[in-house]
Amino acid sequence: MKLYKNLNHSVNELIIEFDLITESRKLELENLALAINESLINFGKAEITVICTHNSRRSQLGQLWIKTAALHYNIKNIDTFSGGTEATSFNFRMVNALKEYGFKVRKLDENSNPKYHITLGEEDESMDILYSKVYSENYNPQTNYIAIMVCSQADEGCPFVAGAFKKISLPYIDPKEFDDTEFESIKYLEKVKEIGREMLYMTSKITKN
């Protein structure tokens, strides 16, 4: 499946920006790639749950970008999920930033915690639904998954993540500190790019299966 034209262009722009990632961060990302390789070898697949406190911004990005990167690099048998230590809602500011960046977003309901179907290309038949949930919800894998902690608060609050065979800390600064400021849209788009750039770099280090 090919990515949408605009999304594919965005992906290629991020790939040529790998030099913006620090060497220490690259080592952390390569450690995650090794864990995914280990899962592919041991279980024949890699199920990845990206976790932050509210499952409203960074963890949703992580889920979506790893899926996008796996498609771009043709890495098979990777399934991505996200969750929080509590459920709130997928923040509308982040949803808007994703639309701006080339993802096709369809809102499925008008509840306080709405569900979204996000597609990556014209032939994308995935029925993955993105919404805020606790990481242990039945929608997510319960055993033998990789837990990626993308905020320090969730990492500290979950010293043990039930069912995970690997827990990896990969924190990002939360863009919510810029909510309702003149920098809001800029900072949200920057976070889309930052997490996208790093997940693309990480996925490029996975051994093709």
pLDDT tens for 127-150 read 899 999 999 999 999 999 999 999
Multiple choice CATH, 5-204, 3.40.50.2300, 3.20.20.10, 3.20.10.10, 3.40.50.150? 3.40.50.2300
DSSP H stretches of helix in the chain: 5-15, 23-43, 58-72, 92-101, 152-157, 184-204
pLDDT tops 90 at residue 161: no
pLDDT at 79 over 70: yes
- pLDDT band at residue 40 under the 50/70/90 scheme: very high
Domain range list for the chain: 5-204
Q: How confident is the model at residue 41 (pLDDT cuts 50, 70, 90)?
A: very high
| Three-class SS state of 178 | helix
pLDDT, mean of residues 160-172: 91
Kindly tell me if the per-residue pLDDT of 153 is higher than 90.
Answer: no
> Would you state the pLDDT for residue 146?
97
Question: Which contacts of 21-24 are long-range, i.e. CB under 8 A and separated by 24 or more positions?
Answer: 21/197, 21/198, 21/201
The pTM (predicted TM-score) of the whole model is 0.95
Residue 157 pLDDT > 80: no
Per-residue confidence band for 28, with pLDDT thresholds at 50, 70 and 90: very high
Residue 82 has pLDDT above 90, yes or no: yes
Burial 42-67 (b: 16+ CB within 10 A, else e): eeebbbbbbbbbbbbbbbbbbbbbbb
Structure confidence at residue 155 as a pLDDT band (50, 70, 90):
low
Q: Which two tokens stand for residue 139?
A: 């929608």
